[in-house]
């Protein structure tokens, strides 16, 4: 015999995870479902803003009250599913459920109130001038929330949201992103391999492979997230009648723009001048990967989170410098400068030799970065590439300015370079703690302080540097 709704609710909430409100509580909170308090409507029903008593701390709270449409055939299953999902997950980028009401055939959910509404509202209705940095922060918040769901934290499995879209992403009082609406979400034992299920979701955000095969995996959420990224960047809806030649799909339109070398057309006019060119290029690239037709080509949300974090660091560097040509740009040193800094490439300052060259220690003035005779300035490591490894025309054709691209916390910082007298020099910041090999294999330098936790941190740093 199947469990009735009352028994199912009791089994879901036995640990007092949520408060059960009476219908009288809800009537009081919404002024008898006053239309003036409506803050949202959809196929599921209506959302009201209200103030409610009766929670554990007995104080009045500002809440969002979702009243499901009793005539909807999907109402009861999604109502139960939402409660089931939100008993399992707790994360700063997910909306929290406070309680529910199941009384007199009414199915009502009570959430914490998100004062800044949905992303959909700000992008397409209010035309809010969200800055590029704010849009980037929102994308990172949503990515982290999805990654949390997919990795099975707190569930021993994974959760696939199945209906990610801009109208289901809310903004709290700090304008941080919160994923909402878990009525269609599904717990999956093996989220990478997926589960066969009837396709559900919102047209435009639905993974084509899921629609074709009926196989739901977490890569279906990744596809929807890619569409959201383009929507966030361009300010255009995921499905827009203006994209008639591209099947009304914003991702296909963006791919076409990129292919035709018109990347700037993908960017909302409000933020065109705010974006680092490299950040824009990589942001569109990750969105393109997320929306690949084959789910095997799409990244995991863990990879997406890391990439977006890197883009945030890149954008911050760009913002702090003011432009690409700034004091943090690579400096072109003269050969004579490096002769002074290294005492004519003295063998006494040799740090090491490799297949392509040798590394010599030197010093620069800390303020001006000019060559410095004394050994108490800014320590540098000068890599001098062997001349016989390069032909003269190769030296002349080297595009050393591309070294500016190698800017990451887990990559040794490059200060500048010199291409002169058929010599190639690359100037790095000096690493005072030496190399890892010495700590692992030199009895003299090895210390018990470098235990397992430190080694894990080192491994993570190396992995991040390689990924970059």
Phi/psi for 202 (5° steps) reads -115, 130
pLDDT digits (tens, 9 = 90+) for 143-189: 999 999 998 665 567 888 989 999 999 999 999 999 998 888 888 87
- Given a cut of 50, the residues of the chain with pLDDT beneath it are 1-2, 14-15, 323, 325-327, 392-393
The verdict on residue 96 lying in a domain is yes
CATH number for the domain harbouring residue 40? 3.30.200.20
The verdict on residue 238 lying in a domain is yes
Q: Answer whether 54's CB lies under 8 Å from 25's CB.
A: yes
CA distance 233 to 227: 10
DSSP 61: E
Do residues 25 and 78 both lie within one domain? Answer: yes
CA distance 250 to 223: 12
Rounded to the nearest 10 degrees, how much is the dihedral formed by the CA atoms of 306, 309, 313, 316?
160
Q: 205: which residues sit within 8 A by CB, 6+ positions away?
A: 163, 164, 165, 223, 224, 227, 228, 238
Phi/psi for 222 (5° steps) reads -60, -40
Do residues 309 and 353 both lie within one domain? Answer: no
The verdict on residue 204 lying in a domain is yes
Do residues 132 and 237 both lie within one domain? Answer: yes
Q: What was the pLDDT predicted at 375?
A: 62
Residues known to be catalytic = 163
The verdict on residue 400 lying in a domain is yes
Q: What was the pLDDT predicted at 135?
A: 96
The verdict on residue 443 lying in a domain is no
Do residues 131 and 64 both lie within one domain? Answer: no
The verdict on residue 13 lying in a domain is yes
Do residues 55 and 126 both lie within one domain? Answer: no
Of 78, 112, 146, which residue sits at a domain end?
A: 112
Q: What was the pLDDT predicted at 326?
A: 44
CA distance 42 to 167: 10
Going by C-alpha positions, the residue among 11, 148, 9 that lies closest to residue 89 is 148
CA distance 238 to 120: 10
Do residues 25 and 107 both lie within one domain? Answer: yes
Bridging pattern class, strands 61-68 and 158-160:
unpaired
Do residues 371 and 299 both lie within one domain? Answer: no
CA distance 150 to 159: 5
Do residues 64 and 131 both lie within one domain? Answer: no
Name the token pair of 338. Answer: 């490096």
Do residues 278 and 247 both lie within one domain? Answer: yes
Do residues 310 and 351 both lie within one domain? Answer: no
The three-class DSSP label of residue 13 is coil
Going by C-alpha positions, the residue among 113, 97, 112 that lies closest to residue 9 is 97
Of 266, 300, 321, which residue sits at a domain end?
A: 321
Domain count, the chain: 3
The verdict on residue 56 lying in a domain is yes
CATH number for the domain harbouring residue 183? 1.10.510.10
The full DSSP string for 433-451 is T--HHHHHH-TTT--TTS-
Of 85, 112, 139, which residue sits at a domain end?
A: 112
> In terms of DSSP H, where are the helices of 196-300?
208-213, 218-234, 250-259, 277-290
Rounded to the nearest 10 degrees, how much is the dihedral formed by the CA atoms of 284, 290, 291, 293?
130
Q: What was the pLDDT predicted at 1?
A: 41
Residue 411 is part of which domain span? 331-432
Q: What was the pLDDT predicted at 420?
A: 74
CA distance 181 to 82: 7
Residue length, the chain? 468
Name the token pair of 282. Answer: 């990589």
Q: What was the pLDDT predicted at 74?
A: 58
Name the token pair of 157. Answer: 């499995």
Do residues 104 and 125 both lie within one domain? Answer: no
Going by C-alpha positions, the residue among 46, 19, 49, 57 that lies closest to residue 31 is 49
The verdict on residue 446 lying in a domain is no
DSSP 190: S
Q: What was the pLDDT predicted at 261?
A: 85
R_g (Cα) of the chain, nearest Å: 28
Do residues 80 and 196 both lie within one domain? Answer: no
Name the token pair of 64. Answer: 């969002």
């Amino acid at each position: 015999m199947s469990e009735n709704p009352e028994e199912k609710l009791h089994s879901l909430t036995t640990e007092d995870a949520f408060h059960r409100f009476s219908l009288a509580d809800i009537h009081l909170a919404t002024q008898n479902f006053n239309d003036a308090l409506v803050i949202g409507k959809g196929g599921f029903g209506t959302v009201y803003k209200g103030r409610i008593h009766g929670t554990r701390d007995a104080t009045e709270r500002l809440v969002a009250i979702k009243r499901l449409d009793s005539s909807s055939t999907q109402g009861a299953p999604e109502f139960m599913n939402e409660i089931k999902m939100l008993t399992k997950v707790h994360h700063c980028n997910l909306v929290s459920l406070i309680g529910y009401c199941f009384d007199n055939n009414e199915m009502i959910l009570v959430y914490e109130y998100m004062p800044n509404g949905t992303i959909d509202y700000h992008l397409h209705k209010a035309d809010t001038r969200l800055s590029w940095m704010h849009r980037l922060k929102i994308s990172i918040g949503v990515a982290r929330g999805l990654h949390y769901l997919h990795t099975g934290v707190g569930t021993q499995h994974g959760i696939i949201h199945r209906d990610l879209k801009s109208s289901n992403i809310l903004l709290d009082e700090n304008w941080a992103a919160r994923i909402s609406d878990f009525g269609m979400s599904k717990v999956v034992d093996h989220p990478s391999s997926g589960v066969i299920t009837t396709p559900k979701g919102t047209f435009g955000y639905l993974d084509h492979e899921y629609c074709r095969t009926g196989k739901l995996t977490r890569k279906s959420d990744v596809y929807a997230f890619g569409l959201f990224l383009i929507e966030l960047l361009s300010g255009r809806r995921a499905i827009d009648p203006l994209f008639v030649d591209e099947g009304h799909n914003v991702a296909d339109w963006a791919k076409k723009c990129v292919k035709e070398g018109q990347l700037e057309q993908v960017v909302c006019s409000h933020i065109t001048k705010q974006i680092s060119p490299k950040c824009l290029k990589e942001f569109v690239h990750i969105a393109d990967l997320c929306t690949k037709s084959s789910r095997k080509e799409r990244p995991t949300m863990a990879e997406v989170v890391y990439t977006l974090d890197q883009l945030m660091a890149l954008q911050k560097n760009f913002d702090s410098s003011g432009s690409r040509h700034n004091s943090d740009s690579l400096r072109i040193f003269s050969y004579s400068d490096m002769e002074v800094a290294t005492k004519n490439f003295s063998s006494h300052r040799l740090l090491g030799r490799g297949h392509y060259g040798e590394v010599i220690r030197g010093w620069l003035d800390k303020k001006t970065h000019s060559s410095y005779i004394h050994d108490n300035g800014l320590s540098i490591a000068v890599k001098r590439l062997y001349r016989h490894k390069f032909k003269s025309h190769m030296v002349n054709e080297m595009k050393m300015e591309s070294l500016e691209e190698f800017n990451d916390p887990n990559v040794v910082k490059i200060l500048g370079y010199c291409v002169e007298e058929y010599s190639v020099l690359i100037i790095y910041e000096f690493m005072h703690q030496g190399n890892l090999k010495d700590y692992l294999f030199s009895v003299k330098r090895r210390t018990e302080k470098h235990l397992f936790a430190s080694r894990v941190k080192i491994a993570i740093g190396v992995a991040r540097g390689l990924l970059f």
